[in-house]
Structure formats: C-alpha cells, structure tokens
Amino acid sequence: MSKILSIARVNLLRFLRDRSTVFFVFVLPIGIVMLIGAQFGGDFSPQLGVASGGGTVADDIVARLDAEESIKLVEYESEDELLIAVERGRLSAGVSVPAGMDEQLAAGSPASVGFISRPDGVGPQLQVVVSEAVAGAAEQIMATRFAVGKGADPSAAATAAAAVAPTIPDLNVETIVAGESLFPASLGRFDIGASSQLVLFMFLTGLTGSAALIQSRQLGMTTRMAGTPTSIRTILAGEALGRFVIVLVQGLYIMLATILIFQVNWGNPLGAAATLIAFSAVGAGAAMLFGSVFRNDQQAGGVAIVAGIGLAALGGSMLPVELFSDSLVRIARFAPHYWANEAFAELVRRDATVVDILPQLGVMFGFAVILMAIASWRMRQVITRV
C-alpha cells in the first residue's frame, strides 16, 4: 500500500511541478467560468425596472430598492412595458407593484408583487434583493399595525409581533419568467457554466495527464519500477491513484475557487463530493487508457485535447443537453460527461441528494471500471514487453 502511495505521490508532485499545470489547470478553467458567467449574466451592475401602481406600501418598496447600491433602478409606466424591456434584455429583471395594494392589505387580504426575470442571467440574484425589500415593507406594515392596535411599547414589540403575525395579510413576490426558461430562476449566473466546465476540465486534465504516463514509460521509469520488488499490479494501482488524485485536485480546485470567487451553488455537498469522486475515477481511467495506448506523448496530447473537448461537447458541457434532440441525447449517454452533468444538474437545479443521483454515480463508476480494466490489460502487455 505504501508503495502505491509513493507512486501516486510522485505523480502528483510531477503534475504540480509542470509549468503548464499552473495555466491549464489553475488559471484557464476559472477564466472560462468567468467568461461564461459574464455571457449568461450580462453586465455587472444590473438594471432593475419598476412599474408601480402607487400607494404607501408601493412607495416603500420602491424606496427600499432605490437604496440598494448594487442595482440601477429604472421606472416604467406599465407592467407591459416592463415585461417587454425584460424580454428584450434591456433590463436584467423587473418588479411590478400592482395598484390598490394598500387597500388590499388593509382589508386583510394577501397581495403580491410581481418579479419578472429572464430565464438565465442575474435575475435570481435580483430576486433575492427584491424579496428582501418586500419583506422589509411587510415588516413596516406589521409595525404600523402593532403601533395602532397595541400601543407603541417597543419592549413588547417582539412578543406582540408574534401574536399578531397570523392576522397580517401575506405580502409576497410572485415570479414571472419572460421568455422560455432553460433553468429555474434560482440558478446563479455562474452555476451552469461552473459545473459543465468542471466536468470538461477534470476529464481534460486526466487525458492530457496521460502524457506524463507515457513519458514515464519513455523515460524507462515504468520498466525500472518493474525491476524493483514491486508487482505490476502495484505499479498500475499507484499510477492510477496518482491520476485519480490529479483529476480530483482539478475538480476540487474549480469547485472551491468558484464557490469563493463566484459564490457558485454546487448543491448538496455530499452529492457534489460523490460526483467529484466518481468523475475523478472516470478521468483517471481515461488517463490510464491513453497512457497505455499511445506511444508518444505529443500524439497522446493532441488526441487528448480533441477527445476531451469532443466528449465534453457531446456530454453537454458546451451546450446543455436540454437543447439536444432526442437522438443526440441517446448518443450523449456514451460520453461520461453526460452523467456527471446530469448529476450536477440534479444537485444544483433540483436540490437532489446523493441518493437521487445514485444512478448517475453508478454509470460513472461503471465507465471508470471499464476504462481501468482495458488500460491495465494493455499496460501490463506494454510493460512486460519492454
């Protein structure tokens, strides 16, 4: 076991020392996630349109939104105009406050503020801002009622507020999506890009890393290892573990970096970790296969990039599979990426847990096992033939 770890450790060490690693593994993926995020999300200071029917509560909500520094507020005459502006992409999102809201609330009936956003973009973030403003306004109503009904004693405020809570009419945000929605409105602007790029880069790093394996063979290292009291099984396990850790490092890095930089939501942590591990195994298997099949590292490197990008595209890392035709989706299932993208889609968009993505995890491990098996068989031949 310690020999396996030693071999894996050397793999990792060499990977981290490779000058191209810094760029291709640590800089490029984040750059691309950022690029895609920017494309999905438009500019960085979002414009929020407001169509207000007037009234105390409405003015309160608009005032609260106006106070928000991160957004630019644009007033519209009617909800229709607002809707068109959002649809055309002139606005990141819109808020429509219906007329007569004061009376409605006073009568004790629930009222809604409309939130209009495009299916993809910064809408979800803005929705949070709008919800907060509306909640603030609701508190205001509550405080007023409290003052009127129970006398203005701030010390009793908390208990009293709780007591009157059921009698306060609902003031909520109703989401309207303008245009056809690919993704639920709760998706952050980097979320889609991040998970598909994570999958793409993990696999690509695995494949291009196969060059290191081939070098190892060309350098005579594999043979030399076979000359030590180390079984071929151990050597292969060590190399495979090394590849696995490298792909995992790539995945973890993108995951952590996107969480820290872009606040990307990766869904259920356990599920995300399981997907990461399963797909690292796939990447390691692919690396071993390439490492055993190709004779020289340049050849492998070239094919690695084509295969890495091609499979990623097929598996839905370039365009979401939701846009694929049915027959293309059937083909896409042969790309391991498809399953990783599916798993992340479940986790991120549909709040799935590990249990929900067991099928995807299973398929990924299946891919890994098959790739590893072929690679081991092939590598064994290559090593013993010298």
Partner 1 sequence: MTNSRVLEATGLKKSFGDIHAVRGVSFHISVGETYGLLGPNGAGKTTSISMVSGLLQRDGGEVLLDGQSMTTTSLGPKQDIGLVPQDLAIYPDLTARENLRFFGHLYSMPKAELVKRVDEVLEVVGLADRANDRASEYSGGMKRRLNIGIGLLHRPKLLVLDEPTVGVDPQSRNAILESVEHLSSEGMAVLYTTHYMEEAERLCTRVGIIDQGEIKAEGTRRELVELVGQQDRIRITATGVQESALDELRRLSGVHSVSPSDGSLELLVADAGAVLPEAMRVLGSQHAGVSSVSVEEPDLEAVFLHLTGKALRD
Residues making contact with partner 1 (CB under 8 A) = 2-3, 6-7, 10, 13-14, 17-18, 219-221, 223-232, 384, 386
Rounded Cα distance between 114 and 180, Å, is 18
Strand pairing report for 47-52 and 111-117: unpaired
Query: What is the spatial order of strands in the sheet that 93-97 belongs to?
Result: 72-76, 47-52, 93-97, 111-117, 171-177
Q: Which is nearer to partner 1, 45 or 298 (CB)?
A: 298
Closest to partner 1 by CB, 220 vs 362, is: 220
Name which of 121 and 209 has its Cβ closer to partner 1. 209
Would you say 11 or 317 has its CB closer to partner 1? 11
Task: Please enumerate in sequence order all residues whose Cβ is within 8 A of that of 137, keeping only pairs 6 or more positions apart, or say none.
Answer: 57, 60, 61, 64, 171
The nearer residue to partner 1, 39 or 298, going by C-beta atoms, is 298
CA-nearest of 172, 150, 170 to 161 is 150
Cα separation, 35 vs 215, whole angstroms: 34
Residue among 92 and 222 whose Cβ is closer to partner 1: 222
What values do phi and psi take at 73, rounded to 5? Answer: -95, 130
| Residue 212 Cβ vs partner 1, minimum distance, rounded to whole Å | 9
**Under 8 Å between Cβ of 46 and 92:** yes
Q: Give the residue carrying structure tokens 């299973």.
A: 362
Residue 31: CB minimum distance to partner 1, A: 26
Q: Choose between 101 and 225: whose C-beta lies nearer to partner 1.
A: 225
Q: Which is nearer to partner 1, 109 or 231 (CB)?
A: 231
CA distances from 29 to 2, 200, 258, 277, 308 (A): 33, 9, 10, 19, 14
Smallest gap, in angstroms, from Cβ of residue 235 to partner 1?
Answer: 9
* Contacts of residue 312, Cβ cutoff 8 Å, sequence gap at least 6: 196, 199, 200, 203, 204, 318, 335, 337
Shortest Å distance, C-beta 227 to partner 1: 5
Are 342 and 317 contacting, i.e. CB atoms less than 8 angstroms apart? no
Shortest reach from residue 297's CB to partner 1, in Å: 13
**Shortest gap between Cβ of 94 and partner 1 (angstroms)?**
56
Distances (CA, A) of 171 to 104, 272, 370: 10, 35, 56
SS3 98: coil
Q: What size, in residues, is the chain?
A: 386
C-beta of 216: minimal distance to partner 1 in Å?
8
Q: Token pair of 81, please?
A: 């105009």
